[in-house]
């Protein structure tokens, strides 16, 4: 069951999706679900995740994605705790999310299905 504030997904930057998918399938037995030409979600990796190959959208480092039942409430909690929003709430094929930086500068994201 998904819980507020728990790690739900890890998004990794990708540059060559066919080669990346081939590597992880061969080395670790991972499977993939393609969401267009620049995104592939992986399965059987121990945690849900995906590779983002969109040069205008991908993170420069692995992106840990936390879950929230109420995205706006979590947004407010992060701001109140001293986090900085680095990317405002936006929609994507799986729901909505936003990105934030913690006090050490680590970028994370928060996702909601609605």
Across the chain, mean pLDDT equals 93
Write down the pLDDT at residue 19. 92
Write down the pLDDT at residue 93. 87
| Averaged pLDDT for residues 96-113 | 93
100 contacts 85 by C-beta, under 8 angstroms: yes
Provide the edge-to-edge strand list for the sheet that holds 49-52.
31-34, 39-43, 49-52, 7-13, 63-67, 107-112, 95-101, 84-92
Residue 11: strand pairing partners:
50, 63
| Structural domains present in the chain | 7-112 (3.10.180.10)
Q: What is the pLDDT of residues 14-53, one digit of tens each?
A: 989 999 999 999 988 999 999 999 999 999 988 999 999 9
Write down the pLDDT at residue 104. 84
Write down the pLDDT at residue 79. 93
């Amino acid at each position: 069951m998904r819980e507020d504030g728990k790690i739900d997904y890890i998004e990794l930057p990708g540059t060559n999706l066919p080669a990346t998918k081939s590597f992880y399938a061969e080395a670790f037995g991972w499977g993939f679900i393609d969401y267009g030409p620049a995104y592939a979600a992986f399965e059987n990796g121990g945690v849900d995740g995906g590779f983002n190959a969109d040069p205008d959208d991908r993170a420069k480092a692995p992106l840990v994605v936390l879950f929230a039942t109420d995205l706006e409430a979590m947004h407010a909690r992060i701001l109140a705790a001293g986090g900085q929003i680095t990317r405002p709430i936006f929609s994507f094929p799986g729901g909505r999310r936003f990105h934030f930086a913690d006090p050490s500068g680590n970028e994370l994201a928060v996702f909601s299905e609605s």
